[in-house]
């Protein structure tokens, strides 16, 4: 789908009415099965199987073992940001004696890439494919992850940590094979793979695959609409046998009159009002994706006079390093405003490396600090502990906040109540203004359902979503694509996707 901000075309009920063929596998049981009534594939075709290596049907350590006629592939190798120790890894042992000959990685968020060195240990000799920018970003993310895991081992006594060393990351990087969006290649004899811009974060890709007369498309994480920085996804629309689809926002009902530009104006109004009250604005922000979106959004808000042109924007945490990498690919990726180097041209203030001690809070400033969910031991968490008790300040959340995270705890706190931001420090009174915005890097559930309808796959596999989200998609597909088999793959179970 070409990115143009218009989103997918509306699709009504696009299935064939009157015949239901929904087979849902979940927790090992077939919930709603009807007899097979068609054989869409000829005998020369080979079957395709998938084993979900994620420990639960959730947004966790995403990883899928795909068996094709040409060989076995691992799709993504994530680490669960909400789990600790061995529970944060995919269950590679569920592969049993099936070897993996090739590893494909959709994008650099850790829930898709955080366990790559562990996967490479399990499946030595399997080359790892990802886009060039994703490779550079994963390199930086994994090194940062070693540091985070090492401090967690020291603080919490998690002996499994770190899962790998800096040296192992360096060795792993040398063995990666960089690919490009729009390029097709044969990753194994008879397995053809093509990469498509997913519009989710810089470097992100959807993956098309053909083997043994069967085709599969994996959305990875996808956003069909233009964001501030990333252009909307440019996905193929040709029919496929299997659609492996994320379902992140399946339980999220977007406001009917939502527009991104209205959301930006609401954000700008909070900035102006906070400055007028003599305060500052803290935006806890995910280092990868959301930081770059925010920097360009603030720059354009200054250009159009929505916020004062001289408002200092302070950047801190891992986001600085990742933005540097993304700036190096300025002309090579589909993005808005490719003429702008975010760090050089937007006037963002970076901390001098020589400066030690906490970042000072100055009135009339905007602080874009990672992490996005105020996780302990991060720049945004430490800063927030000195910031949220002042009534003139505002804290603005622009991404997902897990209810279990410090950001979730803050959002659940009434004004004037106390928040535990760090279990080692006393609670902090919440006196500042709190606002939440929808700048999601994920497609709406309606857009994803419409996309599935256009591809008319024989099988849809639903992944990367919590229970309510999966339920919504399951019901929507049963209604709109009644001939399609819907699979919610039970963790660790081998599921047949298409028959021989």
Contacts with Zn ion, residue ranges (CB under 5 A): 109, 111, 221
- What minimum distance in Å lies between the beta carbon of 214 and Zn ion? 25
Closest to Zn ion by CB, 118 vs 395, is 118
- What minimum distance in Å lies between the beta carbon of 441 and Zn ion? 7
- What minimum distance in Å lies between the beta carbon of 109 and Zn ion? 3
Closest to Zn ion by CB, 359 vs 373, is 373
Helices assigned H by DSSP within 12-60? none
Within 8 A by CB and 6+ apart from 399, the residues are 285, 286, 290, 372, 373, 439, 440, 441
- What minimum distance in Å lies between the beta carbon of 200 and Zn ion? 6
CA distance from start to end of the chain = 30
Closest to Zn ion by CB, 58 vs 221, is 221
- Closest C-alpha among 38, 54, 130, 137 to residue 92: 54
Report how far residue 449's alpha carbon sits from residue 462's, in angstroms, rounded to the nearest whole number: 11
CA 252 to chain centre: 16
Closest to Zn ion by CB, 111 vs 241, is 111
Closest to Zn ion by CB, 138 vs 311, is 138
Q: Is 409 helix (H, G, I), strand (E, B) or coil?
A: helix
Closest to Zn ion by CB, 107 vs 314, is 107
Find residue 218's DSSP bridge partners: 207, 244
- What minimum distance in Å lies between the beta carbon of 418 and Zn ion? 32
DSSP labels, 50-118: EEE-SSSSSSSS--EEEEETTEEEEE-----TT--GGGGS--GGGGTT----EEE---SSHHHHTTHHH
Taken in order 114, 116, 117, 118, is the CA torsion positive or negative?
A: positive
Find residue 209's DSSP bridge partners: 193, 216
**In the 8-state DSSP scheme, what is residue 414?**
P
Closest to Zn ion by CB, 200 vs 302, is 200
Closest to Zn ion by CB, 161 vs 286, is 286
Phi, psi of 453 (to 5 degrees): -65, -35
- What minimum distance in Å lies between the beta carbon of 107 and Zn ion? 6
Closest to Zn ion by CB, 101 vs 440, is 440
Closest to Zn ion by CB, 286 vs 367, is 286
- What minimum distance in Å lies between the beta carbon of 135 and Zn ion? 16
- What minimum distance in Å lies between the beta carbon of 147 and Zn ion? 21
- Closest C-alpha among 148, 195, 207, 142 to residue 173: 142
Report how far residue 107's alpha carbon sits from residue 105's, in angstroms, rounded to the nearest whole number: 6
Tokens at 163, concatenated = 């899962």
- What minimum distance in Å lies between the beta carbon of 468 and Zn ion? 17
Between strands 214-218 and 313-316, the pairing is unpaired
Tokens at 42, concatenated = 């000829």
- What minimum distance in Å lies between the beta carbon of 59 and Zn ion? 6
């Amino acid at each position: 789908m070409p990115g143009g901000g218009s989103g997918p075309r509306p699709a009504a009920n696009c299935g064939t009415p009157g015949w239901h063929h929904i087979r849902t596998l979940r927790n090992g049981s077939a919930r709603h099965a009807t007899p097979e009534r068609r054989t869409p594939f000829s005998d020369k075709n080979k079957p395709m199987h998938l084993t979900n290596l994620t420990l639960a049907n959730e947004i966790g350590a995403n990883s899928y073992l795909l068996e094709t006629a040409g060989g076995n592939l691992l799709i993504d190798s994530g680490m669960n940001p909400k789990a600790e120790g061995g529970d944060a890894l995919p269950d590679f042992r569920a592969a049993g004696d099936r070897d993996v000959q090739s590893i494909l990685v959709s994008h650099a968020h850790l829930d898709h890439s955080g366990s790559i060195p562990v996967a490479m240990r399990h499946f030595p000799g399997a080359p790892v494919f990802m886009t060039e920018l994703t490779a550079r970003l994963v390199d930086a993310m994994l090194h940062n992850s070693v540091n985070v895991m090492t401090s967690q081992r020291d603080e919490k006594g998690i002996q499994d940590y770190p899962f790998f060393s800096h040296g192992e990351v360096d060795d792993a990087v040398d063995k990666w094979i960089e690919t490009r969006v729009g390029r097709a290649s044969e990753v194994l004899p008879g397995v053809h793979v093509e990469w498509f811009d997913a519009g989710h974060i810089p470097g992100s890709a959807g993956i098309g695959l053909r083997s043994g007369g069967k085709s599969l498309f994996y959305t990875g994480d996808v956003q069909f609409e233009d964001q501030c920085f990333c252009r909307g996804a440019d996905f193929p629309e040709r029919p496929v046998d299997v659609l492996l689809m994320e379902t992140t926002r399946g339980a999220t009902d977007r406001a009917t009159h939502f527009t991104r530009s209205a959301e930006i104006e609401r954000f700008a109004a909070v900035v102006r009002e906070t400055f007028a009250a003599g305060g500052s604005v803290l935006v806890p922000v995910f280092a990868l994706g959301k930081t770059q979106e925010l920097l360009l959004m603030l720059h354009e808000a200054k250009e159009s006079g929505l916020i004062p042109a001289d408002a200092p924007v302070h950047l801190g945490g891992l986001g600085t390093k990742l933005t540097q990498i993304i700036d190096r690919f300025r002309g090579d990726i589909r993005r808005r405003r490719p003429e702008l180097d975010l760090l050089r041209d937007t006037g963002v203030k970076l901390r001098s490396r020589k400066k030690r001690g906490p970042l000072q809070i100055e009135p009339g400033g905007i602080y874009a600090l990672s992490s996005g969910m105020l996780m302990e031991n991060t720049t945004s968490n430490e800063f927030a502990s000195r910031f949220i008790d002042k009534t003139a300040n505002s804290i603005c959340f622009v991404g997902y906040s897990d209810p279990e995270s410090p950001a979730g705890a803050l959002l659940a706190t009434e004004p004037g109540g106390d928040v535990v931001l760090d279990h080692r420090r006393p609670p902090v009174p919440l006196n500042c203004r709190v606002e939440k915005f929808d700048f999601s890097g994920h497609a709406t559930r309606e857009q994803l359902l419409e996309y599935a309808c256009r591809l008319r796959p024989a099988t849809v596999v639903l992944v990367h979503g919590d229970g309510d989200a999966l339920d919504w998609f399951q019901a929507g597909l049963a209604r709109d694509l009644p001939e399609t088999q819907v699979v919610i793959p039970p963790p660790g179970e081998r599921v047949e996707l298409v028959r021989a």
